[in-house]
Structure 1
Amino acid sequence: MTSDSPTTDSSTGPNTESAANSSTDSTTDRKRAVVLLSGGMDSATAAYEARERGYDLYALHTSYGQRTETRELDCAKRLADDLEMNDFLQVETGHLSAIGDSSLTDDELAVADADMDGDEIPTSYVPFRNANLLAMAVSYAEANDCEAVFIGAHSEDFSGYPDCRPEFFEAFETVVDVGTKPATDISIEAPFVEWSKTDIASRGTELEVPYEHTWSCYRDDQPACGTCDACAYRLQAFQRNDRRDPIEYAERPSYVEE
């Protein structure tokens, strides 16, 4: 599992000009990666980062009964088209909704307003979700001779979500090494695991990620509420970068200290 500092030099990306001029280049010679593409800004930025690093991309999108699953799927498909991905696989994972115990999937649990200073695991945590998603992504990657699985987890996630911590991804990579064919070598790439959301928004701007085609809100699929945890961290990231988030909000509070 690898991560980069926010100051990583983007000049290490692929030489697209030489690749285009090479008569011997083919898609079979290029490295491949699966991206867990939720449709949110973090996964979108991870996808564009993977492309910048020279990977041919395969998108895995999961619908697990979350409140905004229709909007997230629309966004993921739009991003996959923009990135000209090799394939887009949508998987229904209704068992996560059936298991419950998350305000994202259980209508009887309210999505709480943002608590950016809290240290409790939020009600939006879906029990062991990333292990489920990564397991499917690794299956997909192994079947398509991919060398990496990209996920957009970041530091402000792992303060509340135990399956977003660096040690979780390191441990999962060990599981992959043990549980796949001997010739398989798949890395778990969490490029932003030590970054803040603000760092991600800055990097996404450099990569020209179309954030107008992403969705983060936990509550609503039009417009975004502006007050749940996901909206708060997203708005704060744009505000700290002196940019206006291009999606529509019911409320657009300031999350930057005066």
Structure 2
Amino acid sequence: MTIDENTDSDTGTDDPVEPALEFAAEPTDGRAVVLLSGGMDSATAAYAARDRGYELCCLHTTYGQRTEDREHDCARKLASELTASDFLRIETDHLAEIGASSLTDDGMALEDADTERDEIPSSYVPFRNANLLSMAVSYAEATDCETVVIGAHSEDFSGYPDCRPQFFEAFERLVAVGTKPGTEITIDAPFVDWSKTEIAEYGIDLGVPYEHTWSCYRENEPACGTCDACAYRLQAFQRIGVRDPIAYERRPSYTDG
């Protein structure tokens, strides 16, 4: 769906979605590394992990993305709200140096949203999740954490190949081979089969403070409302009839009707 109107409304005409399913895993008292970007998906994954009983070690990475300062601020606030036992920020510029993504290359234009796009968008950062998960697994192995939690979901892997279920399954096999004997670290992508709408609804039930999250690819304040990340986020809130609490320059309707 492309942008077709400019409105302040956050309420769509779609029927409310069914409540998202609860996690299948039993509650735990283990430790988890959460890849906490500062976005709504990673925030919801962190709150879900805490809800299951995990002690949280939050890993935030900056790699030259346009909104890295705002994302870092949000991640720190979330870690504080979550009473995480640790917050580690890793700054690396190698993904920006490699380039080929409109998130890190100022010479590339960020397209306006098209939620029906079939091709891989320009915002794809080549093999980013493998880089981030490698750092997270190192962190987990060094701190005796049993799992790495990432908030990737089904609408991500429709555009980003390193968000597919097969990728996480393969990466978990790599972890088993590449860590020291006796190490057991799982890769937990709890929302991999969920839509962003289901994540938003689940997060509202969990009490995720979405005012402390940031999704916009373009701007630090206010969010543009017209990039892919803003579109999927606004669409999710519009579908559940909840106003997104962050500020937007524009709030188009991304629901049918």
**Does TM, normalized by the shorter one, top 0.5?**
yes
SS of residue in 2 equivalent to 1:246: coil
Amino acid at match of 1:196: S
Residues 111, 9 of structure 1: CA spacing in aligned structure 2 closer, same or farther, 3 A cutoff?
closer
Q: Determine if contact 2:71/2:213 at 8 Å carries over to the other structure.
A: yes
Match of 1:7 in 2: 21
Match of 1:26 in 2: none
Q: How big is the alpha-carbon RMSD for the aligned residues of Structure 1 and Structure 2?
A: 1.4
Q: Give, in whole Å, the separation in 1 of the partners of 2:102 and 2:178.
A: 32
Amino acid at match of 1:95: H
Amino acid at match of 2:164: R
Q: Determine if contact 2:23/2:190 at 8 Å carries over to the other structure.
A: no
Match of 1:20 in 2: none
Percent identical pairs in the alignment equals 70
Amino acid at match of 1:55: Y
Work out which structure has the larger RCO, using CA pairs closer than 8 Å and 6 or more positions apart in sequence. Answer: 2
Gaps of 5+ in 2: 1-18
Q: Give, in whole Å, the separation in 1 of the partners of 2:33 and 2:23.
A: 23
Match of 2:179 in 1: 180
Match of 2:31 in 1: 32
Gaps of 5+ in 1: 15-29
| 1:239 maps to 2:238 | yes
Q: Give, in whole Å, the separation in 2 of the partners of 1:104 and 1:11.
A: 34
Residues 11, 95 of structure 1: CA spacing in aligned structure 2 closer, same or farther, 3 A cutoff?
closer
Alignment of 1:36-47 (within 5 A): 36-47=35-46
| 1:134 maps to 2:133 | yes
Match of 2:63 in 1: 64
SS of residue in 1 equivalent to 2:58: strand
What is the Cα deviation at residue 115 of structure 1? 1.0
Q: Give, in whole Å, the separation in 2 of the partners of 1:36 and 1:185.
A: 18
| 1:211 maps to 2:210 | yes
Q: Determine if contact 2:31/2:146 at 8 Å carries over to the other structure.
A: yes
Match of 1:157 in 2: 156
What is the Cα deviation at residue 74 of structure 1? 0.1
Q: Give, in whole Å, the separation in 2 of the partners of 1:117 and 1:87.
A: 39
Runs of 4+ in 1 over 4 A off after TM superposition: 9-14
**Higher helix proportion:** 1
| 1:94 maps to 2:108 | no
Q: Give, in whole Å, the separation in 1 of the partners of 2:146 and 2:171.
A: 15
What TM-score, normalized by structure 2, do the two folds share? 0.91
Amino acid at match of 1:97: A
Residues 195, 241 of structure 1: CA spacing in aligned structure 2 closer, same or farther, 3 A cutoff?
same
